[in-house]
Amino acid sequence: MGFDIHRLAKGRPLFLGGEAIPYPLGLEGHSDADVLVHALMDAMLGAAGLRDIGHYFPPGDPRYCNISSLELLGEVKKLVAGKGYRLVNADMVVIAEAPRLAPHVEKMKKNIARILEVSEGALAVKATTAEGLGPCGCGEAIAAQAVVLLQARSPE
């Protein structure tokens, strides 16, 4: 399971699932701060018995400044494969009061599926609100959770 949360800020683009979402605020962070992809990466790393994304992609490292999280997801895929696993499926949810994400879900799935080389049917991306509670509910942040199933690769 993976979780991530980032504060919303002016002057930043909003990326979720590798998709640029039109919105006046973006997510604060060293990379593109894509909480959906970050939660997915942490879930994959954890399921493979590896460390969290901050270990592999330190936030102060200039190589990762404003980098696309999809690029980092490709690196996580390699790390997980190196441990002998492949992704079977992933269930992900974004928690945000705004913007409305339903029109973007299929594009998010397509972006993630392309990087992980899985069918879009192996991915679920959902969006929910926090009903006005906490930092997500007050419109101060966006969070995401992901749960993955990995399978050991068969020896070739």
pLDDT surpassing 60 at residue 49: yes
Q: What is the model's pTM?
A: 0.96
pLDDT band at 153 (very low <50, low <70, confident <90, very high): confident
Q: What is the CATH number of the domain that holds 109?
A: 3.30.1330.50
Burial tier of 89 (Cβ tally within 10 Å: 0-12, 13-18, 19+): middle
How far apart are alpha carbons 132 and 30 in whole angstroms?
27
Q: Is the pLDDT of residue 156 over 60?
A: no
Q: What is the pLDDT of residues 104-123, one digit of tens each?
A: 999 999 999 999 999 999 99
* Domains identified in the chain, total number: 1
Distance (Å, whole) CA 135 – CA 143? 9
Give the tens place of pLDDT for each residue, 53-76.
999 999 889 999 999 999 999 999
Residue-number span of the structural domain to which 84 is assigned: 2-152
CA atoms within 13 A on the CB side of 153: 13
